[in-house]
Every structure is written in C-alpha cells, then in structure tokens.
Amino acid sequence: MLSRYSKRVVDLTIACLCLAICIPFLLLCMVALRLSGVNVFRVHQVMGMGGITFQKLQFNTAGFVGRCLYAFKLHRLPALVHVIRGEMSIVGPRPVLSRDMDLRDRGVRKRLTVRPGLVSLWWLRQRANIDFSPELNTELEYVDSHSATSDLGITFRAALAMLYGSRSHKNEPIVEILKTHIANLTMDEALQTILQAAQQRNARQLCFVNTDCFNLAQRNQDYKNRLAAAEVVLADGIGVRIAAKLTGQAIVQNVNGTDLFPLLCRRLQGSEMGIFLLGARPGVTDTVQEWVEKNYPGARIKGKHHGYFKPEEEEDVIREINESGAEILLVAFGAPRQDLWIGTHLQELKVGIAIGVGGLFDFYSGRIARAPQWMRELSLEWIYRLYQEPGRMWKRYLLGNLIFIGRVLLSLPRGGYKHATKDAR
C-alpha cells in the first residue's frame, strides 16, 4: 500500500510542476473563454476523502473554445489546484457529485477513504473499453491495491489512452468495414443478444472478427460469405476499432469472446440454460469446465468435446451436442474453420446460438496465459500473443495488421472518409 505521506509528496510535486509549466496556457485558455462570451469556469460540488465536499473547478466546455478544450481533455487542468490543496490526488477514484453518493453504502464509504483522482482506474478502463464490472467495484479494486508503481502505471496508460482510447457512446447500430457488417453492440447488449437467441433455439450464428479474420476473408470467399450470412458479427480488437475510425465510424466497445465468456457464465448462474464446449485439444474442455464450476457455481456446462475428431465422427459429435440440451454452443477450432463448421451444420444443430471463439478454451484452461491486465487495458493483447508465439503470430500481427489497414485505406472513397460506408450502402 502506498503510504499516504509519500503519495501526497508525489502528488504535490507533480501538480506543482504541471501547474508551473501550464500557467501560460491556462491564462490563454481563460482569456479565450472570456472572449468567447462564456463563464471561464464551471464548478461541481463533489465528495472528497472522508465525505468532505468541495467545489471542483474545471474550464467551461461550452462554445467553440470550450469544446476544443474538452476534445483534448484539457478542461480538467484547473483541477490541479485541488491536488495542491490536498482535496484530490493525481490518481484515485473518480470524483463523484455529492448528491450521487449514498453514504449508507459500505462500498461508497470505503471509496472515500482515499482522495479522488484526476485520473481513475475506471476512467482508464472505460477508455480501453475492457472493463464491464460496475464502477464502484473497479474503484474499490484501486482502493484495495494501489501502490506507487500502480499509480505510475495508471498515469502512463491514461496518457496513452487519451491518444487513442474512446469512451463508450452509442453510435450507428451497424459498422461496415470492408463490406462486412459489424453489430455495434456493447458487451451488455451482446450478452443480451446471446441469451435471447439461446432461449429462442433458432440456431443463430455469432462470429467475432479481428484483423486476421478480415485478411482471411479476403482470401477465402466461403468465409466471407459466412460472415455475411451470420446473424451477428462482433468486432474484436484495436485493429478493427482503428479501421472504424479511419472510415469515419466508431465501434462502441471491444466485445471479444475471451472477455465475454466469464460474463456469460455469470449470467447463466442459476439459469436452466447451459453451454456446450466444442474444440481445443483433448482434456482442455475438462479444465475449462472445472474453471467455470469453481468461479461461477450454478452455471451449467451441459456437454463438451475436443476439437480433433475425424470427419466420420462428426455425426456423433453433432448428436452429442443435440442430446446435451445445451442452448449455447461455443466452437473453438480457430478462424475460419470454426465459423465455416458452424455454418455447414447450423441446420442440424438444436442450439439457440453457435459462437466461434478461437483460442478461448486454451486461455481459461490455463494452457495459454492471457496478457496482463495493463496490456489489455491498452488494447495491446496482440503484442503479448506475438511474444508468446512469435513464430506463428508474426505474420498474423505484424504483417497482417499492416495489410488490413492498407486495405481499409484503399477502400476509402476519393472524396474523403466521412460516412464512406453510408454512401457505399
């Protein structure tokens, strides 16, 4: 635990340095805001450490100057003053309006045992679009585990996230990239879609697409057709998000199968519905089942089968899936095989929804380690995969990402990128 005293010294030093450097800029902003005819500052009554309220200062975000400041997140600069006054820290839980704080809640009281921060773990995770647990849980995770290094890490990651992260906000329901239609869903909406389809038992298909999938689809017409025929296609990873940005669109959240799986298990706790795990090496699905039973007791794994069966065994595997009564089928053969396999057998399957999930079982069985949280927060999981299996992954990530972005750029209409996809439709 970072001692309060040393944290205070670090906060003071950073805040004084930043203020000293920024004073000319702050004065310029104040004059520009004044000239644009709006009040320079806005104040909000927020609750600080120990439940003490204070008036938090920020630049007004109204008018052209205010909007520019907001776009670069510079409207928060005046809050450095609160760090110097000891009301805030550089890193800490997000300051919350006093009226939104319910002090009867133990979690809220615990949150108030540290100073609120200019940068918070929750803010960071929202930018990286990877954390879907409630805000209070994330902030309490910070309160429980913060240290000098974690504070430094959060500050560094926040600076990077400011450059390319984007906060979840609702955009177009469909994002079109290289003629593939991606459902622009949040994690929560994706879960809802899966559970609804599971109940209806109409054998729907869900595919996750990352940059590698796009490259594969370019070479494999069957896969391309499959992605077009699937009921739901979801974007996985930063590459697809960058492509959306390049084409004037915005993907609302990084909804990948690996992050979705535990949330799905949580939703299935106590439900009659269950999952069939199909794929990976023999034994891997057993370990995944154990993981689910340990972490999400009550979530049903209704059946499982490895992914190395012979073509003549296929009929038996399909029978096994149908007899298991599972509503949700997760197929982990890797793309495009898993998605093509689902497409071929969709009519024979009595499940509600079949989802291709790539290496997911390997992660949850512990066979392959997942990237550390900080890398996932920076959407850099692919670098970790590259580090784990450079021989297999260099082509996919180093070359593949470049080829993908190149293709996206070439697909842009001459007149500019804005709303390219709408014109194409």
Positions that interact with ligand UDP (CB under 6 A): 279-281, 307-308, 332-335, 358-359, 361-362
Query: Which conformational region is residue 270 in: left (phi greater than 0), alpha (psi within -120 to 50 degrees), or beta?
Result: left
What H or E segment, with its residue span, contains residue 24? helix 4-35
- Name the minimum Å distance from CB 212 to ligand UDP: 7
Show the tokens assigned to 347. 């009519």
Helical H segments across 233-372, by residue range = 238-246, 257-268, 284-295, 314-324, 337-345, 360-364
In the complex, minimum distance from the CB of residue 298 to ligand UDP, in angstroms, rounded to a whole number: 26
Q: Which residue is nearest to ligand UDP (CB)?
A: 307
Bridge partners of residue 96, in order along the sequence: 47
Which residue lies nearer to ligand UDP by CB, 191 or 335?
A: 335
CB closer to ligand UDP, 89 vs 215? 215
| The two three-digit tokens of residue 175, written as one number | 């994002």
Q: How far is CA 113 from CA 4, 110, 188, 198, 220, in A?
A: 11, 5, 30, 43, 56
Cβ proximity to ligand UDP, 307 vs 400, nearer residue:
307
Minimum CB distance to ligand UDP, residue 278 (Å): 8
Report the number of secondary-structure helices (H) and strands (E) in the chain: 21, 13
Which residue lies nearer to ligand UDP by CB, 107 or 359?
359
For residue 312, the minimal CB distance to ligand UDP (Å) is: 15
Nearer to ligand UDP, 117 or 400 (CB): 400
Query: In the bound complex, what is the minimum distance in angstroms from residue 66's beta carbon to ligand UDP?
Result: 44
CA 184-187-192 angle, to 5 degrees, is 95
Q: 87 by DSSP, 3-state: which?
A: coil
**Nearer Cβ to ligand UDP (91/360):** 360
Q: CB 347 → ligand UDP: shortest distance, Å?
A: 22
